[in-house]
Structure 1
């Protein structure tokens, strides 16, 4: 059921008094008052063309606020910019940031801090109203890809809001990545306005992604967002039986699920070695497995991954430093590239020497040979990197 059917004008007024607005069946928290014609004209004057109808419709409902849903992929969208907001920049500040020649074609209207921004195309023509994003790249070792990214996101602002969803029911318990603020705002309203709160709760629950139902119905393989979520959940939990079931249902177990990570990468991130070994038997790609899982793999699994073509990078070696088995670090250190990642490798040296000293001290106190081996490997790797830096 949609908002037009659920909510009447009185319901919307009550929700608005609690700081909640509804646009395209999604809730906006800390909703700001609707935009007026004077401000609309001022914003339009800064743009390359007319403001798209869907953006104006959003602003007529709420000219700014907070978003507590998730977009598909890694793009974060938590704020609708407005004049005078207390974010990194307000709406005018972001417009000034983008206006290199006086006007902007792509109008920034929301995003996440300074890392992710969402824009609408204001240039008259076939692309008018299209939503695009820009995302700042993170430093090496934080993600698999490097550099800033930009791409199309939705046909218009209404379609963008239609993509907002929740991976978990906020009222079902657990540590959901989004939706807790929605839940809390509705629960607070329920004390005085239980009927309106119940309607808003139904709207929120209507945005929860139900991959279980799609799997049971046999439609999961044809629904990319649900399919990726199912693979992510199964791999994170190390549920090999579920992974096999997903494969049998037509899901590609080698598909990138999030941030370029595949199911085997996610299993290793979470230390689910049995699931990773099971996926290895399905001949899935292993390129990034040691970058994500060097902290958790056994030496035997590390050898298997290396034989299959797993890439060793400085950040993979950095992960292996945290592995309890010094043999894993020794294996990866022997495969570390001698060029191309010199700065990242050299950055490891102080940490290696500190950890080597700590391991040696622990070995002296306990007589633990494994800890003594760890100290030796750490010291040898630090010496090797230092020697390479000086050559």
Structure 2
């Protein structure tokens, strides 16, 4: 890919609109460079010198916003890390840079006291980015550490009810230095693709506002967007070249993209290139779980056709109008019948699949009718409560009022 060159005049124009470039990535809502006295104040609170790459960043901008994907292996999961902020003093975020440093110093002091060990009152790792309280990005400043200068990501675990999510806090290395960490920021999907609503949209909206309301020239905006989109990962070229299987992370991303688009042919093509279809694809979810959770039923069927394994508790991820043929294949592959999944299928219009689950429960000696009544009553109460809140204007629900009412009506009228 040919490198994009911005003239000094163009870079100055972008900076006037709160946009700077660093390590081939775009920072928007970018602040002016960090004053020397603020850098010195941060340095005074760290054990070891601030890495040169961080100084380079701060002498470019004190902070701002990022809009890229970052995916890491963490605690045996494939985790998306939210690195949307570069912390700076005086921001209106959850905490500003100084606030995060104070927070980390408190944690370090508490840890030293709990472990009865001396502490020099300074940070060995400096928080400088992340997203609210959920995800944080650190750089190691401890001079004697083997990973001095490395960039680390911390992610907060979610409650056990979040199926497929990481349930304990995790820590992983992003890259050996800040420049490489910025290089790890990618776009898993083209934000210019019709219907795209994920990563990159916030940046595009920012640029659009600067163009429409603040005078950013259209040619420069288009050039900037083209530069931004160079971070879109390309798995199609190695797929065409027959080399994708040798790049496991990229092959995994390609399969996830095929599932997200519910593309049967592409899923069938990519599944054999993923070394182990029984390992995590997103969070802790294996590919079949992921496809069910996303209600990508054509892709799920293609995965089963490709020999992908099915977890015994796979139906905990099932809901909606699951095709009966797919449900039969899941049960035949070892998925355990589940009355809650039965109720979710009924609500979503998958009555035939619900009956298959009921038959499987009965074959195990379970009173399927009673189990369904209990599960459907619980789900119906939730839908009824949500309908009331939507009508009051207190809740915005992805199903909408009509969708909620349709789901509730199916539960009321279903006969096993």
Give the TM-score normalised by structure 1: 0.78
2:28 aligned residue: 29
| Range 273-282 or range 26-35, more displaced | 273-282
RMSD: 3.6
**Do structure 1's residue 236 and structure 2's residue 255 form an aligned pair?**
no
- Aligned residue among 80, 86, 91 for 2:92: 86
What whole-Å deviation, never above 9, does each CA across 1:228-280 have from its counterpart, x for those lacking one?
22211222333222122224556654453222223322332243434323322
Unpaired runs of 5+ residues, structure 2, are: 72-78, 110-120, 365-373, 386-404
Change (3 A) 1:90 1:307: same
Change (3 A) 1:152 1:322: farther
> Would you say the 8 A contact 1:47–1:105 is kept in 2?
yes
What whole-Å deviation, never above 9, does each CA across 1:105-155 have from its counterpart, x for those lacking one?
111111111111111111013311111111111122323242221222211
Distance 2:337 2:411 in 1: 27
Distance 2:38 2:360 in 1: 59
Distance 1:318 1:48 in 2: 56
> Would you say the 8 A contact 1:167–1:176 is kept in 2?
no
**Do structure 1's residue 74 and structure 2's residue 98 form an aligned pair?**
no
**Aligned runs of 1:175-214 on 2, under 5 Å?**
175-187=196-208, 192-214=216-238
> Would you say the 8 A contact 1:298–1:328 is kept in 2?
no
Secondary structure in structure 2 of the residue aligned to 1:54: helix
> Would you say the 8 A contact 1:118–1:133 is kept in 2?
yes
The alpha carbon displacement at 1:295 in A equals 4.4
**Do structure 1's residue 46 and structure 2's residue 73 form an aligned pair?**
no
> Would you say the 8 A contact 2:245–2:274 is kept in 1?
yes
> Would you say the 8 A contact 2:53–2:179 is kept in 1?
yes
**Aligned runs of 1:138-157 on 2, under 5 Å?**
138-144=158-164, 145-157=166-178
The alpha carbon displacement at 1:334 in A equals 7.7
Give the TM-score normalised by structure 2: 0.74
Change (3 A) 1:251 1:369: closer
The alpha carbon displacement at 1:187 in A equals 4.3
Secondary structure in structure 2 of the residue aligned to 1:6: coil
- Aligned residue among 64, 74, 95 for 2:101: 95
Secondary structure in structure 2 of the residue aligned to 1:147: coil
The alpha carbon displacement at 1:290 in A equals 1.5
Aligned length: 357
Change (3 A) 1:372 1:17: closer
> Would you say the 8 A contact 1:243–1:253 is kept in 2?
no
| Range 348-357 or range 204-213, more displaced | 348-357
The alpha carbon displacement at 1:293 in A equals 1.7
Distance 1:48 1:70 in 2: 30
Secondary structure in structure 2 of the residue aligned to 1:124: coil
2:187 aligned residue: 166
> Would you say the 8 A contact 1:269–1:296 is kept in 2?
no
The alpha carbon displacement at 1:225 in A equals 4.0
Distance 2:362 2:126 in 1: 50
What whole-Å deviation, never above 9, does each CA across 1:195-244 have from its counterpart, x for those lacking one?
53343223212111222233222232233443222211222333222122
1:134 aligned residue: 154
Distance 2:361 2:9 in 1: 66
Distance 1:349 1:293 in 2: 15
**Do structure 1's residue 221 and structure 2's residue 263 form an aligned pair?**
no
- Aligned residue among 373, 381, 386 for 2:415: 373
**Do structure 1's residue 292 and structure 2's residue 317 form an aligned pair?**
yes
The alpha carbon displacement at 1:353 in A equals 6.9
**Aligned runs of 1:285-324 on 2, under 5 Å?**
285-287=309-311, 289-297=314-322, 301-302=326-327, 304-310=329-335, 319=344, 322=347, 324=350
The alpha carbon displacement at 1:65 in A equals 0.3
Distance 1:112 1:28 in 2: 15
> Would you say the 8 A contact 2:340–2:376 is kept in 1?
no
The alpha carbon displacement at 1:47 in A equals 1.3
**Aligned runs of 1:312-351 on 2, under 5 Å?**
319=344, 322=347, 324-325=350-351, 326-327=354-355, 330=358, 351=378
Change (3 A) 1:333 1:92: farther
What whole-Å deviation, never above 9, does each CA across 1:54-79 have from its counterpart, x for those lacking one?
11111111111011111124111111
